[in-house]
Amino acid sequence: MKVLMLNGSPHTHGTTYTSLEQIGKTLKDEGIDYEIFQIGTNPIRDCLGCGQCNENGCTFSDDTVNAFIHKAKEADGFVFGTPVYYAHPSGRILSFLDRVFYSSSSYFSFKPGASIAVARRGGTTASFDVLNKYFGISQMPVVGSTYWNNAHGTNGEEVLKDEEGMQIMRNIGHNMAWMLKCIEAGKNAGVKLPATERGARTSFIR
């Protein structure tokens, strides 16, 4: 089993990456592999709602969105990490995930997801709440922890000093591992995925 993580910060080894690493180390201890996918510093376009999605994901292939989608097909669980910008997730991660889920949400259904937000001080719970919306609309079980999935610090070294924050990250790792193992046990016992109705798209404007 493997968990795919998204570092929504342009900093490759900053506070968000360091927090994700804490989750990853715990997953490793639980016998589960992980990969941290770097969103990077190159431009990321918004979703245009053009409806030209294809078997590769988004019709636009000039960034790393489709590379992430390709990895998501094989992943068993996900963690999305964001720094806090103006009490909100980074615009980059939102543009990235809008296109990922608009074009390829089926690759995420019934796979557990967790989100984390890292800040110097404020805005973490609002950012955490925004990222959780992707899970709810995509039939993804949400992995929580022993407090909000947040940590605090101004750099990678400082965030490690947030003892409760790092404890939260490790507990996310344990909870993710437990949920993945439960899902695997259910599959082995013949438990089928729930039936899903499609097609009704009601508009309340008359």
Q: Record the pTM.
A: 0.95
CB 41 within 8 A of CB 10: yes
Rg over alpha carbons for the chain, rounded to the nearest Å, is: 17
Distance CA 87, CA 124 (A): 7
**141-163 pLDDT, tens digit each:** 999 999 999 999 999 999 999 99
Mean pLDDT for 57-86 is 96
DSSP letter for 52, please: -
The Cβ-side half-sphere exposure at 139, using a 13 Å CA radius, reads 12
Strands 77-85, 88-89: parallel, antiparallel or unpaired by DSSP? antiparallel
Does the structure show a pLDDT above 70 at 59? yes
| Residue whose pair of structure tokens reads 């193992």 in the numeric block | 181
Residue 12: pLDDT band (50, 70, 90) is very high
Phi first, then psi: what are they for 86, rounded to 5°? 50, 50
